[in-house]
């Protein structure tokens, strides 16, 4: 819509018309790309996309500054209205993209909320608040704690450590007794 609005503006705007038309076209393509990436990542990842959230946040902050400039400039009510609506829709998309997916697994075992938390929850450690509140109210038992991811379990880490240790020891020449002893 913005592409059409900018393209139909009078030629008296000069380079502004060309730049704004190009920027609106690129923004339209970026919106289509965001939709495709969001759909693809939503099907394959248990957590919201950090890249999309970061892009949407930075883009929204810059768009808010642009909306302010458009409201102060004499570009016409339709452009201001459409661009303001685009910012509102982008805000809604940011909120929806940051929304976390349900934390249940297909095997019936509850998933650690850290595994499904988004960039904002991880940055603020918001995912751990329910556990902290529960610990404030009562004494926690081991069954109250979240399950570890398989890659963080002691058996997995110990096996990986011993494999790497044995490979490192095999690569040391026999004349160096320090690690072999």
Give 71's contacts (C-beta < 8 A, 6+ positions apart): 80, 84
- Give the pLDDT score at 137: 94
Residues 9 and 94 in one domain: yes
Q: Are residues 12 and 81 both part of a single domain?
A: yes
As a whole number, mean pLDDT of residues 91-109 equals: 72
Nearest to residue 149, comparing CAs of 119, 115, 116?
115
Task: Please give the sequence-ordered ranges of beta strands (E in DSSP) within the chain, or none if there are none.
Answer: none
On whether the CB atoms of residues 112 and 47 are closer than 8 A, the answer is no
- Distance CA(2)–CA(26), nearest Å, equals 11
**Tens of pLDDT, residues 143-156:** 888 887 778 888 88
Number of domains in the chain: 3
Residues 74 and 110 in one domain: no
Q: Say if CB 83 and CB 66 are below 8 A apart.
A: yes
pTM over 0.85: no
In this structure, the answer to whether residues 8 and 92 fall within a common structural domain is yes
Q: What is the pLDDT, as a whole number, of residue 17? A: 67
């Amino acid at each position: 819509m913005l592409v059409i609005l900018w393209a139909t503006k009078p030629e008296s705007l000069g380079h502004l018309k060309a730049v704004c038309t190009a920027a609106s076209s690129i923004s339209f393509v970026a919106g289509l790309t965001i939709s495709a990436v969001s759909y693809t990542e939503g099907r394959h990842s248990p957590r919201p996309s950090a890249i999309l959230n970061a892009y949407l946040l930075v883009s929204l902050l810059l768009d808010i500054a642009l909306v302010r400039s458009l409201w102060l400039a004499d570009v016409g009510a339709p452009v201001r209205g459409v661009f303001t609506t685009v910012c509102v829709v982008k805000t809604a998309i940011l909120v929806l993209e940051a929304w976390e997916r349900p934390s249940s697994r297909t095997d019936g075992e509850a998933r650690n909320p850290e595994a499904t938390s988004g960039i904002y929850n991880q940055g603020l450690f918001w995912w751990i608040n329910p556990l902290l509140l529960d610990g404030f109210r009562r004494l926690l038992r081991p069954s109250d704690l979240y399950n570890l991811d398989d890659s963080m379990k002691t058996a997995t880490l110990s096996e990986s450590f011993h494999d790497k240790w044995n490979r490192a020891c095999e690569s040391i020449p026999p004349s160096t007794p320090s690690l072999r002893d």
